[in-house]
Amino acid sequence: MSHASTLQVLGRDTPRQDGVAKVTGREKYASDMSLPGMLVARVLKSPHPHARVKSIDTRGVSDPQAVTLTPQEVPGIRFCPRLVSTPEATYKDWRVLTDKPRYVGEPVAAVAAESEEAAQRALEAMRVEYEPLAAVYDAFASMEEGAEPIHDVIELNDQALKVERNVACQMEAREGDPEEGFKAAAHVVERTYRTSRRYHAQLETKSVLVRPEPGGGVTIWSTTQTLHNTRILIHEIFGIPMGRIRVVKVPLGGSFGSSIQVNTVVPIAVALALKSRRPVKLSLTREEDLHDHCSYQMVFRLKLGADSDGKLVAGHLDAWLDIGGHQVQAYPLLGCVVGWWVSLYRLPHKSYVGKAVYTNKVPSCAFRGYGNPQITWAVETLMDELAEKAGVDPLDFRLMNYIGKGDLFWGQGPTVKSIIQSCGVEEILSRGSEMIDWYNRPKAGSQRGRYRRGVGMGRGYHTSSAGAPVPGTVVDFGGAMVKLNEDGTFDYVSAMMDHGGGTMDANAKIVAEELGVPIHKVNIVNADTGTTVYDVCTHASRGIYSGGGAALKVARQVKDKIRENAARLLDAYPHALKFRYDPERDQAVIYAEGVSGRELTFKELAYAMRHKNLGTVAAVDSYRQPSCPPHFTGYFVEVEVDTWTGRVRPLRVVAGADIGTVINPKLAAGQVHGGFAQGWSMVVNEDLPHDPATGDLLNRGFLADYKVPTTRDMPNLDDFTVFFTDTYEPTGPFGAKGIGEGALNPVAGAVANAVQNALGVRFYDLPITKDMILAAVGGKEGQA
């Protein structure tokens, strides 16, 4: 019997609470908001990839309503826009406006005026004199002796830090004796892998609205994954007391990590609002948004060795991260890259050297998976090759070596370690392989003719939060408030953000499950920094495991208080009271079994408490997760390669996921569908090259030249199967884990392995372009 069978609310599809607002167009995103008397801002961005600003002349701005802002007018402090690590792991190299732009598009000045058009005209009337500097677009060239320094001095833990050879930060790790390990290995494969720079293409561009308040405070509505870190950063930059900074939750039009950090536009808009004493709105155009953020481009040199039985014995990884012009916490990413790698397969001996390198390109930030899709692609590709060398089926090879229940897990880096307590890897792989008929897939390279089919698989995981039994360098806790209203409904309040996956609904359902009421009895209340306790950020697929954990903790406290108060009113013992739901009255009931008349509905309880001045039943608390459970995923993908055009099509997808207890089945499957689309596109489409002649993006920021999948690029409904394993995470709320990032991480590996199976050719660069495929199959050969 499934563990889920006793659940009342969880595991069933329920309409999301924000659904009506979203389908009727009434949902107001940050970019939809406006205020009376508001000014509209535009940002003056550097046209140079690397330069010194010699002067900014605003005298040409004739509009008397226009308010300009230059680097001299903003606080001169260095900061890091992403605040999820302790100070010794947080490198600071940003300013609100820069006088030394380090990428094309870096904000140099800004202006706010009565309309967007007026602001743009004022912007064009400003004169900036630049002294161009040499620019570098490649991480390896950047590290060379004599390369132009991109940053001289940055800050770490309040100390100035000199940057050497444009290396932003680095990390090394080692366990066992890798050199000896490799000597003992019967089979060794070493390869170099290169990923692309991808753009999040979240559908809503970054946007912010700031209202200056009497008394020097500000209210902020912005695209963000973290209300509280936004408040902390604005406090740090402007010195405004935190109680006077109110950051209000607004729905996100997609994010995928792009708003983990406080967006560059936020402090600019705050400075303009403070200066103009008017509300200021600042929304990026799509072209500007493309110049604002992208994923990390990574180069890996990966080496794995296995013994003659097919057991992995040793591994070494060199990772170079091209981070662009600034750090958005590249240091914890170096920890995650090694963490993702070593937590996939058991490696008794291993070593790692990771370097994050500045280049004069758009700064990289977290993008769904935070490096995990990149390294998992490399590992899953190499695992196939190594299996082949060892003469083992790739699927069996994985089963022999994967890290699962009882093993040590440190996906979120060397300071976030815990033991895995639930694992559905075997179920994913056995059910998935059956559905795709794995063992009868074509032999690699055996096909001729124009169209060739291939089946590949890849597996992986992501963490659910960055929890652990002991603190490390990663900050991760959240909180919630639940209160009983006078009609027997509950309000659930949390600073957690919903990116669209239904996180807040899931957590409300956890509250409902614990309190024994249907979901329509729990309202998700919009909130802000003043009405919520701290929550670090909605990232790391922590929404349900951490946010739901907090909701459950608080709901239990509320339940205890209901018991105590009801006991007093019913003249009964609190621990003897029972709960049931009465559908006729649509009320939960607390009662003393067998004693007639000794019962109260939640509504009656709240009413009586009000009239007797007993107070509100409510609880608010913080919650730190004790563990960091991986949610596991596996993909089996069948592709068809057109060897005349180089086009690859997905024919069939089978995806399995171990997310513990499933809370919203359709939305959870939706995470897998969306994850597949992004991972697919990572292999066949997405890259953001820079033009070395200008330093600008080759596509100049136009979405027309950055293709993401459309309806026609995905497999048919019948050819896309998603299944969930029957697993239960003992440390999760009602057994639940995350899903958001694991849904993506193994896709690229599975697709790349399918292409290899179709063609008999392996690629080590992403994306696998049509040209690469045509070159590999020798053009004409396919036509024979």
Partner 1 sequence: MKVTMTVNGRARTFDVEPNRLLLNLLREDLDLTGAKYGCGMGECGACTVLLDGEPVMACMTLAVDCEGATIETVEGLSSGEALHPIQEAFIEEGAVQCGFCTPGFIMATKALLGESPEPTEPEIREYLKGNICRCTGYVNIVKAVQRAAEALR
Binding site for partner 1 (CB under 8 A): 13, 15-16, 18-20, 22-29, 31-32, 34, 200-205, 251-256, 283, 285-286, 499-502, 664, 666-667, 669-670, 672-678, 702-704, 708-712, 714, 716-717, 720
3-state secondary structure of 568: helix
Provide the strand spans (E) within 397-503.
Answer: 408-409, 418-419, 451-463, 478-484, 490-493
Cis peptide before 767 (omega within 30 of 0): yes
Residue 159 partner contact from ligand FES, partner 1, none using kind-dependent CB cut-offs of 5 to 8 Å = none
Q: Are 292 and 105 a contacting pair, CB within 8 Å? A: yes
Residue 29 partner contact from ligand FES, partner 1, none using kind-dependent CB cut-offs of 5 to 8 Å = partner 1
Positive or negative torsion for Cα 253, 257, 262, 265: negative
User: Least Å distance between CB 703 and ligand FES?
Assistant: 7
Alpha-carbon distances, residue 571 vs 148, 558, 575, 596, 611 (angstroms)? 79, 19, 12, 13, 17
Rg (CA), the chain: 27
Residue 499 partner contact from partner 1, ligand FES, none using kind-dependent CB cut-offs of 5 to 8 Å = partner 1
Task: Extract the tokens encoding 37.
Answer: 């008397």
251 forms part of the interface with ligand FES (CB under 6 A): no
Letter for the amino acid at 647? R
Q: Are 454 and 650 a contacting pair, CB within 8 Å? A: no
User: Least Å distance between CB 675 and partner 1?
Assistant: 7
User: Least Å distance between CB 708 and ligand FES?
Assistant: 10
User: Least Å distance between CB 539 and ligand FES?
Assistant: 17
**Site for ligand FES (CB under 6 A): which residue of 20, 141, 203, 408?**
203
Residue 449 partner contact from ligand FES, partner 1, none using kind-dependent CB cut-offs of 5 to 8 Å = none
User: Least Å distance between CB 504 and partner 1?
Assistant: 12
Residue 285 partner contact from ligand FES, partner 1, none using kind-dependent CB cut-offs of 5 to 8 Å = partner 1
Task: Extract the tokens encoding 287.
Answer: 């072209």
3-state secondary structure of 281: strand
Residue 31 partner contact from ligand FES, partner 1, none using kind-dependent CB cut-offs of 5 to 8 Å = partner 1
Nearest residue (CB) to partner 1, 404 versus 679? 679
576 forms part of the interface with ligand FES (CB under 6 A): no
Nearest residue (CB) to partner 1, 23 versus 470? 23
Nearest residue (CB) to ligand FES, 293 versus 346? 293
Residue 28 partner contact from ligand FES, partner 1, none using kind-dependent CB cut-offs of 5 to 8 Å = partner 1
Q: Are 97 and 71 a contacting pair, CB within 8 Å? A: yes
Which residue in this structure is represented by tokens 């001289």? Answer: 152
Q: Calculate the CA 543 to chain-centre distance.
A: 11
160 forms part of the interface with ligand FES (CB under 6 A): no
Positive or negative torsion for Cα 22, 26, 30, 32: positive
Nearest residue (CB) to partner 1, 505 versus 513? 505
Task: Extract the tokens encoding 268.
Answer: 């600019």
User: Least Å distance between CB 27 and partner 1?
Assistant: 6
Residue 664 partner contact from partner 1, ligand FES, none using kind-dependent CB cut-offs of 5 to 8 Å = partner 1
348 forms part of the interface with ligand FES (CB under 6 A): no
Nearest residue (CB) to ligand FES, 19 versus 60? 19
Residue 377 partner contact from partner 1, ligand FES, none using kind-dependent CB cut-offs of 5 to 8 Å = none
Q: Are 222 and 29 a contacting pair, CB within 8 Å? A: no
Q: For residue 370, which of 198, 247, 236 has the smallest C-alpha distance? A: 198
Strand order in the sheet with 297-306: 167-175, 349-358, 312-324, 297-306, 187-194
Nearest residue (CB) to ligand FES, 205 versus 381? 205
User: Least Å distance between CB 286 and ligand FES?
Assistant: 8
User: Least Å distance between CB 265 and partner 1?
Assistant: 15
Q: Please give the residues from 492 up to 531 whose contact with ligand FES meets the rule CB under 6 A.
A: 500
Nearest residue (CB) to partner 1, 479 versus 500? 500
Residue 22 partner contact from ligand FES, partner 1, none using kind-dependent CB cut-offs of 5 to 8 Å = partner 1
254 forms part of the interface with ligand FES (CB under 6 A): yes
Q: Phi/psi at 645 (nearest 5 deg)?
A: -110, -15
Task: Extract the tokens encoding 723.
Answer: 């299944």
Q: Are 588 and 547 a contacting pair, CB within 8 Å? A: no
Q: What does the DSSP assignment read for 426-450?
A: HHHHHHHHHHHTGGGSPPTT---SS
Q: Phi/psi at 468 (nearest 5 deg)?
A: -170, 165
670 forms part of the interface with ligand FES (CB under 6 A): no
Alpha-carbon distances, residue 137 vs 325, 358, 696 (angstroms)? 10, 9, 10
In whole angstroms, give the CA distance from residue 162 to residue 265. Answer: 27
Angle between helices 747-759 and 665-684 (to 10 degrees): 50
Nearest residue (CB) to ligand FES, 371 versus 500? 500
Nearest residue (CB) to ligand FES, 203 versus 408? 203
701 forms part of the interface with ligand FES (CB under 6 A): no
Residue 669 partner contact from partner 1, ligand FES, none using kind-dependent CB cut-offs of 5 to 8 Å = partner 1
Nearest residue (CB) to ligand FES, 367 versus 477? 367
Residue 219 partner contact from partner 1, ligand FES, none using kind-dependent CB cut-offs of 5 to 8 Å = none
Q: In 163-220, which residue ranges form alpha helices assigned H by DSSP?
A: 178-184
In whole angstroms, give the CA distance from residue 498 to residue 478. Answer: 14
Q: How many CB atoms lie within 10 A of CB 60?
A: 10
User: Least Å distance between CB 688 and partner 1?
Assistant: 15
User: Least Å distance between CB 726 and partner 1?
Assistant: 21
CA atoms within 13 A on the CB side of 257: 23
Count of positions (residues) in the chain: 784
User: Least Å distance between CB 653 and ligand FES?
Assistant: 19
Cis peptide before 518 (omega within 30 of 0): no
In whole angstroms, give the CA distance from residue 211 to residue 280. Answer: 7
Residue 666 partner contact from ligand FES, partner 1, none using kind-dependent CB cut-offs of 5 to 8 Å = partner 1
* Binding residues with ligand FES: total (CB under 6 A): 3
Nearest residue (CB) to partner 1, 500 versus 782? 500
User: Least Å distance between CB 652 and ligand FES?
Assistant: 24
Nearest residue (CB) to partner 1, 310 versus 742? 742
In whole angstroms, give the CA distance from residue 513 to residue 81. Answer: 37
Residue 252 partner contact from ligand FES, partner 1, none using kind-dependent CB cut-offs of 5 to 8 Å = partner 1
Binding-site ranges for ligand FES (CB under 6 A): 203, 254, 500
